[in-house]
């Protein structure tokens, strides 16, 4: 059971039922699995990226799904229970007295989480393993995400992104910053600058021009913008550019080279590299999955 191409896995005794169902939302890959289990079904997994495993359903009298690492072992006895596996942590899994399980895996890069929350994120949370825990709120969101993966008529991209953002907020207990380390832009300044970045995201935008819009020096503006948004102005522009590109990919039949040119990328290779860095998949893969 491994959809992440960066994950190493060795499994035996698990058989996938039907087709894999998956979705990608802003750097997070969600894949929904249903598998039958032999008596000795087991697997070994290790990935350079963190992931969240959520056991949605299980069938079997007195069955359990056991996960372990050296020196620690935990059993999932009931749905909905879950395990958070940090990057690089080897994990063993074993199904006992189970005939079938259904589970959701969320794969994401550490950068994808940092870009969402900026300084509000306690980065040490990304390294803390949690081999078995329950959270009703996360379970509810996981059920909605699983439903979206399985749907033949998915909602708008923002729906899934909102579910994923909410789940990660709860998973890592992200709270508003209590103390601001740097002065932020006022709401009016931030609205003006971000509206300009959204409207001109395909163009070359100079930092000096953005700073002049709100009567600040380039250095002051750059620090204040990052304090307000968690990312520098150029990164915000790239995110805006990719969101508009996603709309273009499903709204017309332009070639990827044409899309790259319109969106202001140097070439298709540059376009593909940036797109995959933010979404986790290539533009061609994203288009195939999201075309109506």
Written as one string, the DSSP assignment of 151-206 is -SS---HHHHHHHHHHHHHHHTT----SS-SSPPPPHHHHHHHHHHHHHTTTS---
- The pLDDT assigned to 68 comes to 87
Share of the chain above pLDDT 70, in %: 96
pTM over 0.75: no
Question: CATH topology for 8-171?
Answer: Jelly Rolls (2.60.120)
- The pLDDT assigned to 72 comes to 86
Number of H helices, E strands in the chain: 10, 10
Grade residue 271 by pLDDT with cuts at 50, 70 and 90.
very high
- Tens digits of residue pLDDT in 77-136: 778 889 999 999 999 999 888 899 999 999 998 888 988 888 888 888 999 999 889 999
- Tens digits of residue pLDDT in 171-181: 999 988 765 55
Answer whether residue 144 shows pLDDT above 90: yes
Answer whether residue 276 shows pLDDT above 80: yes
Q: Would you kindly state where each structural domain of the chain is located, as residue ranges?
A: 8-171, 187-290
- Tens digits of residue pLDDT in 210-258: 999 999 999 999 999 999 998 999 999 999 999 999 989 988 888 999 9
The maximal CA–CA distance of the chain, rounded, in angstroms, is 69
Q: Does domain 187-290 have CATH number 3.20.20.140?
A: no
Sign of the dihedral defined by the CA atoms of residues 56, 58, 62, 63, in that order: negative
> Residue 109 and residue 237: Cα distance in Å, rounded?
20
Q: How many other CB atoms are there within 10 angstroms of residue 262's CB atom?
A: 13
> Residue 86 and residue 84: Cα distance in Å, rounded?
7
> Residue 150 and residue 32: Cα distance in Å, rounded?
7
- The pLDDT assigned to 4 comes to 56
CA nearest to 193, candidates 170, 209, 176 = 209
- The pLDDT assigned to 40 comes to 82
How crowded is the C-beta side of 43, counted as CA atoms within 13 Å?
A: 19
Grade residue 3 by pLDDT with cuts at 50, 70 and 90.
low
């Amino acid at each position: 059971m491994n959809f992440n191409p960066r994950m190493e896995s060795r499994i035996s005794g698990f058989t996938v039922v039907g087709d894999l169902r998956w979705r990608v939302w802003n750097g997070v890959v969600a894949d929904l699995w249903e598998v039958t289990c032999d008596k000795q079904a087991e697997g070994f997994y290790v990935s350079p990226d963190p992931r969240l495993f959520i056991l949605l359903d299980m069938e079997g009298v007195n069955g359990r799904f056991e996960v372990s690492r050296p020196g620690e072992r935990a059993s999932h006895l009931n749905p909905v229970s879950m395990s958070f596996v940090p990057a690089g942590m080897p994990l063993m899994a074993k199904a006992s007295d189970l005939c079938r399980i259904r589970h959701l895996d969320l794969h994401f890069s550490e950068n994808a989480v940092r870009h969402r929350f900026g300084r509000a994120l306690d980065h040490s949370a990304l390294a803390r393993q949690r081999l078995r825990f329950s959270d009703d709120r996360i379970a509810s969101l996981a059920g909605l995400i699983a439903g979206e993966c399985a749907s033949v008529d998915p909602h708008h991209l923002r729906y899934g992104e909102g579910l994923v953002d909410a789940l990660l907020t709860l998973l890592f207990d992200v709270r508003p910053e209590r103390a601001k380390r740097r002065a932020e832009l006022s709401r009016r300044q931030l609205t003006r600058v971000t509206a300009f970045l959204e409207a001109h995201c395909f163009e070359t935008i100079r930092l000096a021009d953005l700073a002049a819009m709100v009567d600040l020096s380039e250095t002051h503006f750059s620090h204040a913008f990052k304090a307000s948004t968690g990312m520098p102005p150029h990164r915000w522009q790239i995110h805006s550019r990719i969101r508009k590109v996603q709309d273009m990919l499903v709204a017309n039949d332009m070639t990827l080279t044409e899309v790259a040119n319109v969106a202001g990328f140097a070439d298709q290779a540059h376009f593909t590299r940036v797109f995959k860095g933010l979404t986790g998949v290539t533009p061609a893969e994203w288009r195939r999955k999201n075309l109506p």
